Amino acid sequence: MTAAGERIKALIASQGPITIAQFMTIALLDPAGGYYATRDPFGAAGDFITAPEVSQMFGELVGLWLAQAWIEQGRPARPLLVELGPGRGTLMADALRALKLLPLLRDSLDVVLVEASPALKQVQQKTLADCGVNPRWADSLDGVPSDRPLFLVANEFFDALPIHQYVRTERGWCERMIARDANGALAFAPAPAPYPDGNVPANRDGAPPGGVYETSPAGEALAEEIGHRIAGHGGAALIVDYGYDAPGFGETLQAVKSHSFAGVLDDPGAGDLSAHVDFRALGDSAARGGASVCGPVAQGDFLVALGIVQRAEKLAQSHWTGGRATMPTLADRPELMEQLDRLIKPEQMGTLFRALAIVPKNAPTPAGF
């Protein structure tokens, strides 16, 4: 059993079953054995690949999207460029390179990366060492100034925030907990007492027996805070993740290890844990904060609207030396075509992943929405 798994078992032995949110927090962030706290999980040598690692085009377009929002809001002074869960720093590096096209914005930015993992902070520092700006790091959004225009991106961040699950039983809706079975192994088990009505979905009567409903209070609270800051001081937030537009009844909690699915309870801390994002809940939360919400829209549609096909064609020509009769096209660069397809095709990341924008109420509808 992993170090995180042993801690979880000891916690259950001392206090009884724990929530899935507690389990995820320990498995992902425990300083001694948490998944993100102890390793770099990204890329071909890791456990999964995110869009910025697929192609530089993703981060470049995100950076220019934020720049367009800044322009449309009258070029506010002292803007903050913030990324939640920056991974290896690849997205931020690509975004900052694209922002060289707007030196007035780039030179006025304060860049803050919100990262809780010491291991990933070291990776990000190396990635951004020559980016031409002096980023700083914060452990949470609380460490980011709240009185300035906020231009924020969160790519595959909300899916890793802790969730709670509720399961419909003969006793009513009970929170799904993690306990130890007769052999001492970790196992799912419903709480012995049902939860009050306020903790279950309004359309709960339509759920079948055994139906599971997921919520992320942490994600909703964060989205509301982002909405509150943007409503008060301007800015824009772009949230890109995999998820759904409206809540339903189904379990989406999953573990990934070495680019394959694994058992959620098998080796806590050894694999990534995530759950599909409820975009309606995030949007409603940001609106409660006072902001306007656009989307979600499919990632593929969003990137195409921003010009990713044209950017791919430009990259295909970038190494042309004139040694052939005609300028290269995208068809001559199969690796670029493969990257493009992965980001926008419906059967790959194009439909499952969605984009949600948060802007002030008086701001124009942002590009791509």
User: What distance in Å separates the CA atoms of residue 220 and residue 278, rounded to the nearest whole number?
Assistant: 9
How confident is the model over 142-162, as a mean pLDDT? 96
Alpha carbon of 239 to those of 117, 245, 279, 305, 354: distances in Å? 20, 13, 9, 16, 8
**CATH number of this structure's domain 1-293, picked from the four choices 3.40.50.12710, 3.30.420.130, 3.30.450.40, 3.40.50.11610:** 3.40.50.12710
Type of residue found at 36: Y
Question: pLDDT by residue (tens digit) across 206-251?
Answer: 777 888 888 899 999 999 999 999 999 999 999 999 998 876 667 8
User: What distance in Å separates the CA atoms of residue 41 and residue 23, rounded to the nearest whole number?
Assistant: 19
Work out the mean pLDDT of the chain and round it to a whole number: 88
Per-residue DSSP letters for 280-320? HHHHHHHHHTT-EEEEEEEHHHHHHHHTHHHHHHHHHTTT-
Residues facing 177 on adjacent strands: 19, 189
Which pairing describes strands 254-257 and 260-262: parallel, antiparallel, or unpaired?
Answer: antiparallel
Which pairing describes strands 254-257 and 212-215: parallel, antiparallel, or unpaired?
Answer: unpaired
pLDDT of 271 higher than 90: no
Residue whose tokens read 């942002």:
366
Extents of the domains making up the chain: 1-293
User: What distance in Å separates the CA atoms of residue 179 and residue 158, rounded to the nearest whole number?
Assistant: 25
| 3-state SS class at 211 | coil
User: What distance in Å separates the CA atoms of residue 169 and residue 172, rounded to the nearest whole number?
Assistant: 5
Element (H, E) at 342: helix 334-344
Per-residue DSSP letters for 27-81? HHH-TTT-HHHH---BSTTSSB--HHHH-HHHHHHHHHHHHHHHHHTT--SS-EE
pTM for this model (two decimals): 0.90
Count of Cβ atoms closer than 10 Å to residue 326 Cβ: 7
| 3-state SS class at 358 | strand
User: What distance in Å separates the CA atoms of residue 240 and residue 163, rounded to the nearest whole number?
Assistant: 18
Question: pLDDT by residue (tens digit) across 46-90?
Answer: 456 789 999 999 999 999 999 999 999 999 999 999 999 999 999
pLDDT of 202 higher than 60: no
Token couple for 167: 């399961």
Q: Which residue has the higher pLDDT, 127 or 32?
A: 127
Question: pLDDT by residue (tens digit) across 343-359?
Answer: 999 999 999 999 999 99
Range with lowest mean pLDDT among 13-17, 147-151, 201-205 = 201-205
Element (H, E) at 224: helix 217-233
